[in-house]
Amino acid sequence: MGYEIREMSMNDLEDILYELSERNDRDFRTLRRALHKMYGGVNIPIYEKLFDYLRGTLGISCDAEAKELEEAAKRQVVEFLSEMAG
C-alpha cells in the first residue's frame, strides 16, 4: 500500500504542484495524473472532494492556477486533507 493522501505533507504537495502543466487552463488533468501516480487509484473519491474544495473554496479551476498556489493556500489544502482523516 502506498501513501495515504490524507497524510500529505507540504513537501508532497509542492512535489505534485511542480509536475503540473502551466499551459493547462481547462481542467485538473495533470493534477489528477500526479495524484494518481503518488497515491494510487484507491483515493479517487478523495481526489474529487479535493477538486471540489479547490474550485469552491480556493477558486482554483485548472492545473495552471493550482501550480501558482500561495503558501497559505497550500497549507489550507494540506489541512483539508488531514481533516478528512477525521
- The single residue listed with the C-alpha cell 501516480 is 37
pTM of the model: 0.90
DSSP string, 34-49: HHHHHH-GGGHHHHHH
Tell me the pLDDT tens digit for each residue of 57-86: 999 999 999 999 999 999 999 999 999 866
Confidence at residue 85, expressed as pLDDT on a 0 to 100 scale: 66
How many C-beta atoms surround the C-beta of residue 71 within 10 A? 9
Tell me the pLDDT tens digit for each residue of 21-42: 999 999 999 999 999 998 887 7
The model's confidence at residue 2, banded by pLDDT at 50, 70 and 90, is low
**Domain boundaries along the sequence of the chain:** 5-84
Long-range contacts of range 68-72, CB-CB < 8 Å, 24 or more positions apart?
68/22, 69/17
